[in-house]
Amino acid sequence: MTETFSPRKYLRGITPPFCPGCGAYTVTNVFLKAVHELGHEDLRKFIFCSGIGCSAWIPSPHFMADSVHTLHGRSIPVATGIKLVRPDANIVVFGGDGDIVGIGLSHFIHAARRNLDILVIMVNNMVYGMTGGQVAPTTPFKTVTTTTPYGSFEYPLDATKLAVTAGACYVARWTTAHPNEFKMSIKEALKTQGFRFIEVVSQCPTAFGRKAGFKDAGEMIRWLRENTVPVEQIEKMSEDKLISKIVVGEFAKKHRPTLTETVQATMREAKKKIEN
């Protein structure tokens, strides 16, 4: 760790496609810094999976590693297949909110239920950014997007609550205005086992910010910082006050047998029964 951090050694050197001010730059940088601080000289120990959307491009093809860029919403099923064949694989899934809890929601719940041993990093920019800024399951109530020109009339989904309920072993939420806390969570998650989920609320100045009334990325990051509430403080707050806030912090930290372990244990027991 004495060596100074440079994300370049983990990257292919291909120019990223992200807009100026995109949160994906922060996510990339923070993830690679966490990996660096954990002592990884390269990304050989990892396999990256992603779906379709801007955030899916964070690892693919930019990380100098194995990466599988799958279909919209299907990164977790593909990761399931890889993990079951190679139980030793350290799989990290990157995806946007539309990818992970929109079209791919059912896989997200089932992977948490199974306790599939992977880390899912969901970059929540609250909008379908790649397609031009349509409303997402995570868009705040009343927000103007291209498909909700009069404001969104739906309430957003809390992905962390869902992950906790479905049985995830590690769940945290931060924003791109919390790079240090986000980094600590990545390090924590990479050291733990089971289904791990980190949501990072991120700014999309192009497709979200412009319609929603933000001047630039800087203003969005400021908004993210000012609109967050640490999970420790929510008990004192009324539901009305909480509705417009982003709750950040760690929501679950536990151990239970992973899918890899339960598969192996079940088969071991079955073998014993047959032998006796």
Partner 1 sequence: MKKTSTTNTHFWQGNEACAEGAISAGCRFFAGYPITPASEIAEHLSKRLPQVDGTAIQMEDELASIGAIVGASWAGAKSMTATSGPGFSLMQEGIGYAFMTETPCVIVDVQRAGPSTGQATKCGQGDVMQARWGTHGDYSAIVLSPNSVQEMYTLTIKAFNLAEEYRTPVILLADEIIAHMSEQIVLPNPKTLKIINRRKPTTGEKAFFSSYEVPPMPSVGDGFNVVVTGSTHDQYGIRATADPLVHRQLVERINGKIQNHEKELADFETYNIKECKVGIVSYGCTSRTVYDVVQNAQNKGINAGYVRLRTIWPFPNEIIEKMARTAKIIIVPEMNLGQLYHEVKRATKGHARVEPMNKIGGGEMITPEELLTKITDEGREYD
For residues 120 and 93, is the Cβ–Cβ distance under 8 A? yes
| Least distance from partner 1 to the Cβ atom of residue 258, Å | 14
Compute the distance between CA of residue 23 and CA of residue 6 in angstroms, rounded to an integer: 18
The 11-40 site mask, x for binding partner 1 (CB under 8 A), equals ---x--------------------------
Q: Per CB under 8 A, which region of 58-66, 159-167, 181-189, 214-222 contacts partner 1?
A: 58-66
Nearest to partner 1 of 1, 274 (CB atom): 274
- With binding defined as CB under 8 A, does residue 61 bind partner 1? yes
If we measure between CA atoms, which residue out of 177, 176, 196, 201 comes closest to residue 186?
Answer: 196
Compute the distance between CA of residue 200 and CA of residue 204 in angstroms, rounded to an integer: 12
Q: Per CB under 8 A, which region of 41-49, 120-128, 140-148, 208-216 contacts partner 1?
A: 41-49
What are the strands, taking DSSP E only, across 43-181? 46-50, 66-69, 90-96, 119-124, 127-128, 134-135, 170-175
User: In sequence order, what are the residues at sequence separation of 6 or more whose Cβ sits closer than 8 angstroms to the Cβ of residue 211?
Assistant: 133, 143, 144, 145, 146
Interface with partner 1 (CB under 8 A), residue from 67, 125, 152, 258 = 67
Beta carbons within 10 angstroms of residue 245's beta carbon = 14
Interface with partner 1 (CB under 8 A), residue from 39, 85, 213, 238 = 85
Nearest to partner 1 of 53, 156 (CB atom): 53
Binding site for partner 1 (CB under 8 A): 14, 44, 47, 49, 60-61, 64-71, 73-74, 76-86, 88-89, 106-107, 110, 263, 267, 270
